[in-house]
Structure 1
Amino acid sequence: MSARLVEVFVSDEHIARAEAIIQRHCRRYWQEAVPGPKEKFSCIVQKRYVERLFTELDQNFGGMPDFLAMVVEIEALSPRLDEITESRLPLVDGEKPPTKMEAFFTRERMSTNELYDDIEDSLRLRPNYLLTVILSAVIAALGMRSGQTAVVIGAMVIAPLLGPTMALALASTTGDKILGKRAITTLGVGIAAAFLITFLLGMFISVDPSVAELRNRTIVQPADIALALASGAAGVLAFTQGASLALVGVMIAVALVPPLSAAGLFFGSGQPVLGAQALFLLLTNLVCINVAGIFTFLVQGLPPKDWRMTGGIFALWMTVLLLFIGLVGGWIAFGPIMPR
């Protein structure tokens, strides 16, 4: 559904100002008294307008103790609230009209507040997170070792690295240092846990590098870079439109979990060269996902806090990606950098 129910609570002395703001962003709303010196506004808002409504509400009431705003997803609505040219809300003061591309991509995007809310739980370092990381890595490792593609896909559905990966791209786009630090910490702990468990697994089982599922994780080709870029872009598009986390997890995990598990197996079985090559694929994929993620977030109109910071971060990721592409080009032209 392309609409949201936004409930706004303000103190009595701010009712008129709140109603004026709500009228600029909402088509349907109603007002009711609540216990205490407060008033509640219930608003039906098209998804694309939630962002600007929250921005103006925060600017006017964000620091007030009695202010509260929440967003609830609507499963069905009658009569419908369709987005057509004739029904577009007028622009607010100082707002630039969206380009056709921005209007197209922002129509179904969730607001930044909703994105932050969805990511919040996945950034907490809890036993459940570590357990799912370990299980995902073990399942992927054993599936690759036996050449069972379906088992590897099953490991991706668990999607333990989805949250911190999406959060890192989101933090890079918005320039949120606190979110970025939390994402790096959670992602780093997850990667370390997956590598350690597969390293130990590799010490006790035989690992045949000629198995296609494992061998493919030691080779970086242009197609792998394209896959990782597509995975990052598709993952962000699905995530910002409220798609199933399992679906988004498969998109992201296809580029992260298998090479990470393969690296642990190779290092644990005494094959460090192949392990290093698998880690190189992991790093390449991680960079690609962030480049594609930042680009897709920006195309969808996600507002950066500081364009200079966002531009610098994006330029840094692009520089690393170009460096990796150069290494891959040299690998193809002159053979592997490291002997197999």
Structure 2
Amino acid sequence: MPARIVQIFLPENQIGQLETILPRHTRRFWRESVPGEHEKYSCIVQQRYTERLLVDLDEAFGHIPSFTTYVAELEAVLPPLQENADTELPLSRDLPPPTWLERFFSRDRLSTDEIYDDIEDSLKLRPSYLLTVTLSAIIAGLGMRSGQTAVVIGAMIIAPLLGPTMGLALAATVGNWKLGSQAMVTLAVGSALSVLAGIAIGVIATIDPLTPELRNRTLVQPSDVALALACGGAGVLAFSRGASLSLVGVMVAVALVPPLTAAGIYTGAGYPAAGANALFLFTVNLVCVNVAGILTFLFQGLPPKSWRMTASIILVWLLILTLLMSMMAGTIFLDIGSWDSLIGNIAPAE
């Protein structure tokens, strides 16, 4: 049973209000005296109740400068907390009870604050991030050039674009413009470095444009849209449950870094039209990952600040996706910008 230990430090004159809040979110809590005019409360909270407890605490005591709350994961609890419909704690507001579907998909989700903490550090443009993006693109590019799929997947374990991509979806879900702009800048810088690394490979190394691992990054099919949507949804599900970042990174990055690097390789090797096709695949994948990510966050019960704002952002992403799919349909049915019409007359390198 996923649970958290929540420690609350509060002035003595506020403990009366706190003791009316805690029973709505936890069955086990205790009070300790600490030096000064504060009291410490420790409580064991089931993971699915952590979100609403933190919201209530912030609304009640967020204006108090000395108020502090810490949240940590628990490995085991004895005696165990029973989690079923009979032991479910009531909602803290006059809201309808959650449906079985909402209860099922939100029961193991990390709280919004925990998700923020996991993403925040990865949105900073540190030297380590720049170096990691460059190295992962080089590894992926060399793997595609030699046709080694395992090397390409191995490069994605580094997961350099995971944080910015998840940050963009999270910002759109909760309506946080500051987080969204920071994620967008970090993602743009990482994408540019991936393309530049690919260009360097294309200029320095001998490239066979018909290598399947490269050529596949210039073709956009309906299956690619389905794959990117699945990657976005699965990535958010794993991320919001605290799964291994390497696992989540492979899900998301495999749809982003290889097309970017392939675009740079083709451009550096003198095939700019093929490079443009690879960038088109990256754009489709990025839009699909964000659409699926936002919908998955919402499906898990992540609370938006403004439903109107979140719905507007989703609508914009869907309109962009519709436009891209129309372009993809033109490529497939009208043979516009297809591989054969671009460099189909090139023989494979000996």
The ranges of structure 1 where at least 4 consecutive aligned residues each deviate by more than 6 angstroms after the TM superposition are none
**Residue type of the partner of 2:63?**
G
Q: Percent identity?
A: 58
**Residue type of the partner of 1:139?**
I
CA distance in 2, matches of 1:2, 1:95: 24
Q: How far does residue 96 in structure 1 lie from its aligned partner after superposition?
A: 2.3
Aligned length: 340
Match of 2:218 in 1: 218
Match of 1:169 in 2: 169
Match of 1:337 in 2: 337
CA distance in 2, matches of 1:203, 1:236: 36
CA distance in 1, matches of 2:32, 2:5: 15
Q: Deviations over 1:157-191 (max 9, x none)?
A: 00000000000000000000000011001111111
CA distance in 2, matches of 1:21, 1:147: 59
After TM superposition, list the pairs within 5 Å mapping 1:1-340 onto structure 2: 1-337=1-337, 339-340=341-342
CA distance in 2, matches of 1:95, 1:123: 35
Please state whether the residue corresponding to 1:71 is helix, strand or coil. Answer: strand
Please state whether the residue corresponding to 2:86 is helix, strand or coil. Answer: helix
Please state whether the residue corresponding to 1:270 is helix, strand or coil. Answer: coil
Q: How far does residue 218 in structure 1 lie from its aligned partner after superposition?
A: 0.2
Q: Deviations over 1:212-269 (max 9, x none)?
A: 1000000000000000000000000000011000000000011001101101101111
CA distance in 2, matches of 1:131, 1:81: 45
Please state whether the residue corresponding to 2:209 is helix, strand or coil. Answer: coil
CA distance in 2, matches of 1:82, 1:204: 62
CA distance in 2, matches of 1:93, 1:148: 55
What is the root-mean-square deviation in Å for CA atoms of aligned residues? 0.9
CA distance in 2, matches of 1:288, 1:101: 24
Structure 1, unmatched stretches of 5+, are none
CA distance in 1, matches of 2:337, 2:270: 19
Q: How far does residue 63 in structure 1 lie from its aligned partner after superposition?
A: 1.6
CA distance in 1, matches of 2:145, 2:80: 52
CA distance in 2, matches of 1:147, 1:81: 51
**Residue type of the partner of 1:245?**
L
**Residue type of the partner of 2:288?**
C
Match of 2:345 in 1: none
Q: How far does residue 82 in structure 1 lie from its aligned partner after superposition?
A: 3.2
Q: How far does residue 126 in structure 1 lie from its aligned partner after superposition?
A: 0.3
Q: How far does residue 76 in structure 1 lie from its aligned partner after superposition?
A: 1.5
Q: How far does residue 200 in structure 1 lie from its aligned partner after superposition?
A: 1.7
Please state whether the residue corresponding to 1:63 is helix, strand or coil. Answer: coil
CA distance in 1, matches of 2:160, 2:79: 39
Q: How far does residue 306 in structure 1 lie from its aligned partner after superposition?
A: 0.5
Q: How far does residue 336 in structure 1 lie from its aligned partner after superposition?
A: 3.1
Q: Deviations over 1:113-171 (max 9, x none)?
A: 00001101101110000111001000000000000000001100000000000000000
Match of 2:347 in 1: none
Segment drifting more, 39-48 vs 78-87: 78-87
Please state whether the residue corresponding to 2:255 is helix, strand or coil. Answer: helix
CA distance in 2, matches of 1:177, 1:266: 35
**Residue type of the partner of 2:202?**
G
Structure 2, unmatched stretches of 5+, are 343-350
CA distance in 2, matches of 1:27, 1:168: 36
